Every structure is written in C-alpha cells, then in structure tokens.
Amino acid sequence: MLTKRVLCLRLCNAMGLVAMGLAALTQAGYSQVSETGSIGGFEAKFIDVEGVRTRYYEVGQGEPMVLVHGSGFSGTASANTWVPVLADLGERFHVFAPDKLASGLTGNPKDPEDYSLEGEMRHMADFIRTLGLEQIHLVGQSRGAGLTLLLAVEHPDLIETLVLIDSETASPPVGDYNERRMAARAPCRSLSGRAAVRCGWEALSFDPSHVTEEFVEAGYFMEMQPKSRETEAIIQTLADYPLAVNAWKPEAHRMIREEHVLQMPVLLYWGRNDPTAWLPSGLALFEMISETNSRTRMIIANEAGHFHYREHPEEFARNVINFIDHWSSSSLGH
C-alpha cells in the first residue's frame, strides 16, 4: 500500500491537469449541456457532504429511496443513469440519486486513501446522514451494488430493503471477470471522446437505444471537467487500486454467511444477457445471501444487458415497487 504522504504528493502533482481540463472545456463547446449536467427534464442539486460538494437528483415524496449508480471515479459515471426510472419511482418514494464520490460532478476525496470502495461507502453514508434520512430503501447497480451491499453490512439498521442489480463487485467470484470485461469492451479501445463514451455504454447493453445523445453529451461534459481529469490522473498512479476496490469483499461475505448480518428483504435483479456481470455471478450471490436470509428474492430479465433498468424502465420500476410493497404490507417484513 502506498503511504498517505506519497498519495498526497501525487494528488498535488495531478492538480496540474486542472488547467489542461479547463482548456479542453473551452474548446469543446457544450451549449446544450447545463452546468449541472442535468438531463431528462430533471434538475440536479448540490449539497456539502463532509466538505465534498455532492450532486444529486431528488424526486417525489414518501418513504426515502437512495439510488447508487455503478462504475466509479469517473465523470461519465453519474446519477444520470437513473433518469429513465426517476419519475416512476418518484410516484411511490422520495427518491435521492447522488453522484458517488469523485464521480459525475461530485467532488474528489479530501483523503487520497478514499479512492476505494470503502471510501465511496463512507461518503454515501455521510450523504444519507447529511440529508437526515432513516430506514431507506437502498438500490445499487454494478459497482454501486457493491457499495450498497457493504453499506447494508456495516449499517443494517439504516436499511429497510436492499436491491442489488447486475454486480460482479458484490458477487462471489465466478469465472474470469476481467476477461469478460475486456472482450465486451474490445470495440471501444480505439475510440476517444464522445464515441468512447457512447461505446462504453452500448457495449454492455442488449438494446443500446437507451444511450441517447443527451445522455452521451452530458457524460462527456462531466468527463472533461478538471476534477474528473484530476481523478483519472490519480487513479493511474495507484498501483494497488484494483485491490483496494475489492479488499472489503471477503470480510463482508464472511459476515453475511457467519454472522447473518443481512436480514432485511433483499432483491437481486439481473439481466440475462449481461456480458460482464453475467448471470452465474448473480446466482452465486443469491445462493450466498439466501442461505441465511429467507426474504431474498431474484428477478432475471430476459433480453436485457447490464443496464436493464434503462432498457426496460417501466418494468423495472414496477417490479421494485411491488417487491417493496409486498414486504411493507407483510407481517414478515417487520
């Protein structure tokens, strides 16, 4: 592990990219993108979370629901991914969809050691506390589901229900994930700019029509922000970064199996055609959780990729609402 002093020095060096990022923004031209990166007719807000300016969407009224997006430490990864389901979920819940730490337009960590999934989790817990939320319905996708799983293990009393979506990060290892990911993204390797942003989303989709021009343009706008370029430079200096992202998993899985810490209703929602977080991974996660939690359910969406909540948004929202309403009305849910 790199020392904090070395990481801080590298952070200072990476700040040199800020000027480059500003120049790129000036040249690119984003007249159709708002300064908040908002899309779909929604307007993002900002809140200070322990000194980190944090971007989020807030929609609807009722019981609190927090949506945690996938990927991470990237401008293109943001709460914009949830826009197709915000309105439907907002009819039943008070929905909060933040950009994770150092993602989208949320600021970078104050401590370089927080470039880890545990750092992301602590920021998300602070976000929830800052807003004064309690007994939340927590939904996470891909790497965001790894974050939400860890959050539920560390703070189970905070979580009313948990939904985990297409997440190799959360699942026990099955096969060679890196090989699958490289194969899926092979068409994107020679691309750059907006084309690379679009390809990154389309390569993991069954139906790529959900990757709209507005979505791509906002993602590229956020990727080109100085703080995003700074993050990219820092990540490239962290030789142990892949290990840091997954270091939490063995202990969290042990606590689920042996200490039975995950006892809230849990829904796993998987795309049958996901090329990276493939179905066997989801089934392995289901087996692990369901061994000690009788309120575990799984939905498998056919003709659906890594972003099936975007490919089939109305179906996704209806199934999640029905799952939560079932356990809310059942005597088993309390």
pLDDT at residue number 236: 86
What pLDDT does 9 receive?
A: 38
Q: Write down the pLDDT at residue 1.
A: 38
Give the model's confidence band at 231: pLDDT under 50 very low, under 70 low, under 90 confident, else very high: very high
Please determine, for residue 182, whether its predicted confidence score (pLDDT) is greater than 60.
yes
| Rg, Å, the chain Cα set | 19
pLDDT at residue 161, as a whole number: 98
At residue 245, the pLDDT reads 75
CATH number of 4-333: 3.40.50.1820
Measured between alpha carbons, how far is residue 211 from residues 79, 135, 148, 203, 214 in Å?
A: 14, 33, 25, 11, 8
| Residue 95, CA distances (Å) to 25, 130, 311 in order | 31, 15, 20
Name the token pair of 327.
């356990």
Give yes or no for residue 76 having a pLDDT over 50: yes
CA angle, corner 245, sides to 171 and 108, nearest 5?
Answer: 130
Q: Averaged over 59-82, what is the pLDDT?
A: 97
pLDDT tens for each residue of 255-302: 999 999 999 999 999 999 999 999 999 999 999 999 999 999 999 999
- How confident is the model over 61-81, as a mean pLDDT? 96
Task: Please check the confidence at residue 242 and state whether its pLDDT lies above 80.
Answer: no
For residues 22-39, average pLDDT: 66
* Cα-based distances in Å from 118 to 88, 169, 285: 30, 12, 20
Candidates 248, 273, 295, 324; CA nearest to 64 is 324
**CA–CA separation, 86 and 232 (whole Å):** 29
Range with the poorest average pLDDT among 112-121, 240-249, 263-272: 240-249
pLDDT classification of 243: cutoffs 50, 70, 90: low
pLDDT at 330 over 80: no
> Cα dihedral angle (177, 183, 189, 192), rounded to 10 degrees?
-70
Q: What is the mean pLDDT of the chain?
A: 90
User: Six-digit token pair at 51?
Assistant: 């000194």
Tell me the C-alpha distance between 75 and 150, whole Å: 23
Q: Confidence band (pLDDT; 50, 70, 90) for 25?
A: very low
What pLDDT does residue 189 have?
95
Residue 51 CB coordination number (10 Å): 9
Can you give the pLDDT at residue 241?
A: 72
